[in-house]
Structure 1
Amino acid sequence: MVPAIIIAKGHSNRLPHKNILPFCGLPLVEWSIIQASSAHLIDKVFLSTDSEHIAEIGRKYNAEIIWRKSKVGEEVSGGYVVTYALRELQKKYDFDVFCSLLPTSPCREPNDIDRAVKAFNENKRNITRLSALYCPKEMTVYEKVTWRTDGNYYFPVIWNKNYRYLNGNSNVYISYVNNYLNLLSKPEGDNAIDLRWEVYGIPENGIAGYIEIEWYQQFDIDDKDDFEFCEILMERYILKGRGPEIYKQYARSK
């Protein structure tokens, strides 16, 4: 089984209740649920939340709800929440690979999740995780140098055109369960999940896999400006007036 885990809390600080705000006609979190449910290579969708409203959205698509406990605090890293969800799922299901999706990165093409799972399966002997990368548009960056006490100096550094640069984002993430859990361990005698980075579960050669996505898929929604910008990109480059039907059509192509 390859499960998709979507984590979506009921509140947020910079943009209140962003996961349920209307985004291209649907609550923001609903897009990730639709995308995961439409993927050919995802066997089951799980939704981790502390909100009954969000849970109801997930149930529309037969997503299984994983309720957050209070000790998986409201302001902790998403890694804590995913780890808790994985441990809950291990009590009921047998699986060694999972897919993690953040609802705040909704700009996914219909086949992105399947491309990621397929690429992971084809290279699973050499990698332990896979993520989405995008190629930034060419630019000049400025490197800051502090020279003694005389002040700060900047000078331009032009990217080497003989190389292709890729940056990461949170569009889709695939990992072996055990390797991911090695990143976040539980201290003895404590039920809380403790973030630890001493053990980074990658093979000796340090290789992580990736799929490449388009530039307009790189953005993550944190505030109102991000929300409005991503809504424009989603409609212009992906939906193109078709709404969620593009994902349903992809699902029917199995």
Structure 2
Amino acid sequence: MFIELKTPQEMAVMDDAGRIITQILRSVRRGVRDGMSTKELEDIAVEEMQKYGVEPAFLGFRGFPANICVSLNEELVHGIPDRTRRIKDGDIVKADIGIKHKGFCGDIAETIPVGKVSPEIRKLLAVTYGCFNEVMKHAKQGNRLGDVSGNIQKYVEGNGYSVIREYVGHGIGRNLHEKPEVPNFGLPGIGPKLAAGMVLAVEPMVAAGGWKTKTLKDNWTVVTADGGLCAHFEHMVAITENGPRFMTEMDPPEPYE
């Protein structure tokens, strides 16, 4: 498997992309409100992309018909923004955003609680986000990718949740999806060896119930097969000689305890 290593100059451009896409996501998060449509969230993201002079990476990617993905509650990924789909208090909104910046891509996602949500939802979000602690511990030069994936799985299942199997993270660079695939499950000690210059889009996807999914009739929106709630976060992680470094900025969800 060929895994492209980025030069310091390329890393600097991707750092810029990470900073920009973080600000776009923050604007989307601030814009979430009861009664708005999912299309209005996309409108916020597009306006921010135009402000920063970047292009949407998702529009047309493998035929996807929108600029960002907006998925609610039991929807996991690839929800298509819709002016008739309304967000309400108590929902959880998964916003997944990709951009193109100076020849390189950025990718980020967050599960956003709307208004007052239950302690169970807050715990689901906090545990899913907590997967990045495992990334920081194990995504080190010389370790195997399975060290990251296996420890994410162990952490999630140790908290009583399921790890989605059918969708995974990925390398990122000039292309939105590059090698290697980055699953949230596996065995430590296997997989490609991590090396300085790799950039990974790590995206924990966690279900409160079972891990199986299905795709709706729009051929895009992925939901949990059992209708249970799920959460999704994504950050870009650079592997360096000094350990892993986040290229997108971290905004932890509110504590659930």
Tell whether the structures are fold-level matches, with TM greater than 0.5: no
* Larger radius of gyration between Structure 1 and Structure 2: 1
Q: TM (normalized to structure 2)?
A: 0.25
Q: TM (normalized to structure 1)?
A: 0.25
